Amino acid sequence: MIPFRLTDRRASSRPARARTFKFRQLVGLLLMVASLWLMGWDAAHRRSGREAHTASIRAVVRLLGTADLALSSSSRWLRHPSITEPGAAFADGPAILDNDPAGAALGLPREVLAGFSAEPDVPPLMRERR
Amino acid sequence: MNVDNVMVRAVRLTKRYAAGRAEKVALREVSLAIPAGQFWVITGPSGSGKTTLLGLLAGMIAPTSGEAHLAGRPITHLRDHHRALVRRRLVGMVFQEFALVSGMSLEENLFLPWVPQGGAGRAERARARALLERFGLAEFAPTPVERLSAGERQRGALIRALVADAPILMLDEPTAALDSENVRTLLALLLALRDEGRTILATTHDRRLAEDPRVDGVLRLVDGVLEP
Amino acid sequence: MKRQLALICFALGSARRRAGRSFALGFALALVTFALSAVLFLTEALRREFRLAVATLPDLTVQQLAAGRPALIAEQEQAAIAAIPGVIAARPRVWGYYFVSSLSGNFTVVGVDTDDGAVRRDLALVSMNGRLPSSNVSGEVVMGAAAAAFFGLEPGDAITLPVGRAEKRLQLVGVFRSEVGLWTADVLLMSEADAREFLHVPPGYCTDLAVHLSTPDEATVVARKIADRLPGARIVDRQLMARTYDLTFDTRGGLLGAMLLPALVAFLVLVWDRLTGVGTGERREIGVLKAVGWQTGDVLLARSWENAAIAFQGAAVGIVGAYLYVFGARAPGLAEVLMGWSTLYPALRLTPAVEGGQMLVLLCLAVIPFVVAGLVPAWRVATQDPHGLLRGTV
């Protein structure tokens, strides 16, 4: 046995720190995984709960005659409920672009502007010269 | 097979480094043979290539030319992976800067070499416990290493080198951070380990170590060349 | 497995030793993930609600235009449309908007034939507090929850509303429950006669015609025939309505996403800065690992686990936080942005619509770039001379 003189600071003046934190961190990681799993379980539970209301939702849609949500869209053929963007009330024409900002930057698909996908035959313009 | 009982051998080891456009020769054709169970010291001024020589002998860096042998086995031409395996089995290394990771406890630092293999086994843990007791550091095992004194860290680094129970112990400037009392203590320890059968090679520019009569041999390195 | 577990524990320890850096990166990632996830959860949930009911929509809705604006349509057009092959029924609908100055907004008035068996069956199926309106009785109304709350009414209470120069007394008999709140928030459902009175729709006219087809795929063909019979009519088919809603959600969601773009860019810059620079302490640590026998591959694997752990925890916190924000707290602030400006909002009781696979993709998108960004600088350091790293000379 080699004798060692501890010429350095005494141990009692330097309390040993608790055991490493790695297990605490591993637990933290596992907690995150558990949270995500719990979130998925809750989502599935809510979805199955919502299924029970599907019949009610469909009945409402039949009664109201529309499936549009009570949200603002500024589209003139979707019902808008009290929730309309200012200015949207004036855009009544079939080909008037929506007030949505995206409509200002990029045009909407043509069939959305037309209102239906097939156009009726239109006779050519007739011009009479004096 | 180690026929002639030479544990550490260097055959015309040369190491060149690129230093900008020029080339720096850290070691020039160094040859040596350290017998098993002896304590040798390599001395020389700063920048003479002692650390580089130790790195080459331990298989940590590859030479530009020449060969290194450990326990009769050439290691120079092994692939990195195999060289690391051989080094882990045959060499315990103590670095000048102790090479301890701040923020980790002494115990965690002891078992650091075994992390990539899935952690230290029972044998290593038992050896570590015994060495901690022997060196008077058992109560500091959970202490973060930055809270230990230089001497305690030195001993911690030594314990880590001994846990693997390798037959060769290499130390780079082991007395650099120690006072006289601790130097004497360290020397006594190394001699005891030598007496237990280990082969010890230490580099130093400390005369207290180099001129101790109980050391088996002293080699002098100057400007990368071993003096005869 | 044991090796990976040991490296993961080491990596977690490393992350803890560099707590400041780890927290900063994890927190920033959590914020970005939270914002993007919240928008995704909300738009997908709203889209899901719509899709739940879209199959019940009439296949075609026919509106009459006058001076380019929707006008009332003569009920007799119903016969012409019903005669088209493929049309099962063309039902006239009386509905419209009723402006209330104190709300500064509109309610949707919907008239139904309270005597009709099918209507009564549907009323019985709908989640409602109170009772069904009596058959063919005037002056009874069923309101949406938000509408009833605005007026301060409960089932049994009555309210008198101005209709032109006159007034109309309505007794609240039922309130739609929150399960159908997204469709009924602003609805005043009453008898058709009461609705005509409110909306000034004279007999013989209706707001539009709801057309049901035997084969929904023939919608385009039937629409053309209706257009031939009714020049100037606007015909909206179900697919178009669904498409418009998709556009609305995509637009709003995309707009929000675009607003988050500067934050995302700032975050990526932070990640790049933190991960591509290997600090002095980290370089020394890598030097120690190489010195004690770790291979370059071991160092890179440990580093990857460290970055993956930080990224995973940050992203998980963001995703779970967004889930609680949207489905627990009902997304205050964000919901209004996605729903648009309003004076009357439906109570949002949404159902999560994002699948596990999408969540996994979101997590991977957060974790993988983090891990990859940290590999190259770590590799550059790990391949250097351990002695030089220990001394700080390389």
pLDDT tens digits, A6-44:
334 333 333 334 344 456 777 888 888 899 999 989 988
Q: Which of C2, C288, C385 sits opposite B99 (nearest CB)?
A: C288
Residues 6+ apart with CB under 8 A from A94: A76, A113, A114, A115, C65, C68, C234
Residue C227 within any structural domain of the chain? no
Closest C-alpha among A79, A74, A66, A115 to residue C54: A66
Q: Has residue A84 got a pLDDT over 70?
A: no
The torsion region of residue B49 among left (phi > 0), alpha (psi -120 to 50) and beta comes to: left
Residue C361 forms part of a structural domain: yes
Query: How close C376 comes to chain B (CA, Å)?
Result: 20
Residue C114 and residue C22 share a domain: no
Task: Tell me the residue range of the domain where C151 lies.
Answer: 73-206
Q: Which of A70-79, B51-60, B160-169 has the lowest mean pLDDT?
A: A70-79
- Check whether residue C248 and residue C387 sit in a common domain: yes
B51, B61, B113: residue with CB nearest C292: B113
Its ipTM equals: 0.86
Task: Looking at the structure, tell me whether residues C83 and C48 fall in a common domain.
Answer: no
For residues C126 and C7, membership in a common domain is answered with: no
The per-residue pLDDT for range C95-152, each reduced to its tens digit, is 888 877 776 667 888 998 888 888 888 888 887 888 887 877 889 999 998 889 888 8
Q: What is the pLDDT of residue C175?
A: 93
Q: Are residues C42 and C6 in the same domain?
A: yes
For the whole model, what pTM was predicted?
Answer: 0.75
Confidence at residue A17, expressed as pLDDT on a 0 to 100 scale: 41
Task: Say whether pLDDT at B185 is over 90.
Answer: no
B217 shares contact with chain A (CB less than 8 Å): no
Q: Do residue B134 and residue A1 have CB atoms under 8 angstroms apart?
A: yes
Residue C22 sits in the same domain as residue C93: no
- Cα–Cα distance for residue pair C342/A42, rounded to 1 Å: 30
CA distances from B94 to B110, B155, B175, B228 (A): 12, 9, 11, 27
- What per-residue confidence (pLDDT) applies to C252? 66
State the amino acid at position B226 in one-letter form.
L
State pLDDT tens for residues B127-176. Answer: 999 999 988 899 999 999 999 988 888 889 999 999 988 899 999 988 87
Can you name the residues that pair with C188 across neighbouring β-strands? C109, C143
C211 falls within a domain = no
Over chain B, what is the mean pLDDT?
A: 88
- Is C364 found in the same domain as C262? yes
Of C206, C235, C263, which residue is a domain's last?
C206
Boundary-marking domain end, from C191, C206, C221: C206
Pairwise CB contact (< 8 Å): A54 & C180: no
Residues C47 and C139 in one domain: no
| Residue at C237 is within a domain | no
Residue B40's pLDDT band, with cuts at 50, 70 and 90, is very high
Q: Is residue C68 part of a domain?
A: no
Query: Which amino acid is residue C391, in one-letter code?
Result: R
What gap in Å lies between CA C225 and CA C210, rounded to an integer? 15
Distance from CA of C15 to the nearest CA of B (A): 11
Contacts of B192 in chain A (CB under 8 A): 2
Q: C305 with C340, same domain?
A: yes
Q: Residue C255 above 80 pLDDT?
A: no
DSSP letters for C152-206 = T--TT-EEEEEETTEEEEEEEEEEE-GGGHHHHTTEEEEEHHHHHHHHT--TTEE
Check residue A95 and give its pLDDT. Answer: 47
Please check whether residue C385 lies inside any domain of the structure: yes
Query: C167 lies in a domain?
Result: yes
Q: Do residues C84 and C38 both lie within one domain?
A: no
Tell me how far apart the alpha carbons of residues C323 and C354 are, in angstroms, rounded to a whole number.
10
- Crossing angle for the helix pair B150-163 and B122-134, nearest 10 degrees? 150
- Mean pLDDT value across residues C372-376: 81
CA distance C236 to A109: 14
How many domains are there within chain C? 2
Alpha carbons C164 and C166: distance in angstroms, whole number: 5
- C40 pLDDT higher than 70: yes
Cα-to-chain-centroid distance, residue A107: 23
Instruction: Calculate the alpha carbon distances from C100 to A90, C112, C142, C150, C164 in Å.
Output: 18, 21, 17, 11, 12
Measured torsion, CA atoms of residues B211, B216, B218, B219, in degrees rounded to the nearest 10: -170
Asked which of B49-63, B148-162, C209-223, C333-347 is least confident by mean pLDDT, the reply is C333-347
C168 and C32: one domain?
no
**In a domain? residue C236:** no
SS3 C13: helix
Residue B135 contacts A where some CB pair is shorter than 8 Å:
yes
pLDDT range class, residue C28, cuts 50, 70, 90: confident
Q: Do B60 and C3 touch (CB under 8 A)?
A: no
In this structure, what token pair is assigned to residue C76? 């007799």
| Mean pLDDT (chain C, rounded) | 84
Task: Give the model's pLDDT for residue C258.
Answer: 75
E strands in C194-340: 205-206, 208-213, 233-237
Q: Which residue of C has its CA nearest to B172?
A: C387
Are C359 and C305 members of one domain?
Answer: yes
Domain boundary residue, one of C160, C180, C206: C206
Per the DSSP assignment, residues forming a β-bridge with C148 are: none
Whole-angstrom distance, CA of residue C203 vs CA of residue C196: 8
